Amino acid sequence: MAIFFDNWKFWPIYWILQGTMFWAIFVLGHDCGHGSFSDSALLNSVVGHILHSFILVPYHGWRISHKTHHQNHGNVEADESWVPMPEKIYKELDFATKFFRFKIPFPLLAYPLYLITRSPGKKGSHFNPYSDLFQPNERKCVVTSTLCWTLMVALLFYLHTVIGSLQVLKLYGIPYMIFVMWLDFVTYLHHHGHEEKLPWYRGKEWSYLRGGLTTIDRDYGVFNNIHHDIGTHVIHHLFPQIPHYHLVEATKAAKPILGKYYREPKKSGPIPIHLVEKLVKSMKQDHYVSDKGEIVYYQTDPKFFNFSGKKDE
């Protein structure tokens, strides 16, 4: 349709719709990575590679690091996704790194860089089978996914030779960036931006249950069904084997048991505008955690960001 109309009034609509569909495709591949798409490991792997390679995600590289995230959620020392920086590492960062890490919209474009270099303070790459992320018996899987990713890049390059760079940018490049923004927006708010500061743990204070209960459910309005209820996140972290189409039902069953430890998400209108405010506020306030202590909370760096977003002189 976008090519047929080829009209600048229609292209932005296409970009939003297609970028959102890329994000929905990612979530289905995410279920494959958890083994909740199918009982067949082979089918999970095949479908996961098709879905994730199409949106330039190295399936096994991501799957393994995401498993690390789930096994260590809420653990300052071992978590993998949007993990807080200890104060010492934070203070060693230069101004540019801090700026791109905390100043909207740049954090919403972080995912491709994360796949290549991981987060500040961590080493390795999702494409390198010898990265610290992976065990020796996982290297063949990582090579397979990197090859699939490379094949998709080659396909896009071939498409560029056929229809030109501008058309590839309009058809794929801009929707891809919108997908990345969706991914960073949603995954960040899974673990940040609650009305009350939530704890992060170290050492003996951490447990799988405690870490899982620091995750946050979010209501995304009309997008809930489109992106497969990924905002129903607490029960997903406690029981990642539950497929997306049972998450709402499972959450209803678990809420009486979780009691006060379950935080009811704020109801959204059709478009979750209120979550943008949560994101911006968290980026301004949640910068690092103390180097010491087994229960820690985010702290704000007043020397870097004041609430106008300007560097202090």
What is the C-alpha end-to-end distance of the chain, expressed in Å?
Answer: 51
Give the integer Cα–Cα distance in Å for 299 and 296: 9
DSSP assigned state of 195: S
CB 200 within 8 Å of CB 214: yes
Write the pLDDT tens digit of every residue in 76-128: 999 998 999 999 999 999 999 999 999 999 999 999 999 999 988 889 999 99
Please report, for residues 8, 17, 77, 160, 190, the alpha-carbon distance to residue 122 in angstroms, rounded to integers and kept in the order given. Answer: 42, 34, 10, 35, 21
Give the integer Cα–Cα distance in Å for 163 and 119: 36
Give the integer Cα–Cα distance in Å for 184 and 179: 9
In the chain, the percentage of residues whose pLDDT exceeds 90 is 90
DSSP collapsed to 3 states, 14-38? HHHHHHHHHHHHHHHHHHHHHCCCC
In this prediction, residue 304 carries a pLDDT of 80
- Note the helical H segments in 259-309: 273-285
pLDDT of residue 313 exceeding 80, the answer is: no
Strands (DSSP E) contained in the chain are 85-86, 200-201, 288-289, 295-296
Please report, for residues 130, 226, 227, 269, the alpha-carbon distance to residue 220 in angstroms, rounded to integers and kept in the order given. Answer: 38, 10, 9, 8
Write the pLDDT tens digit of every residue in 240-294: 999 999 999 999 999 999 999 999 999 999 999 999 999 999 999 999 999 999 9
In this prediction, residue 307 carries a pLDDT of 42
In this prediction, residue 18 carries a pLDDT of 97
Residue 113's H or E segment, with its range, is helix 111-117
Token pair 């976008």: residue: 2
CB 114 within 8 Å of CB 58: no
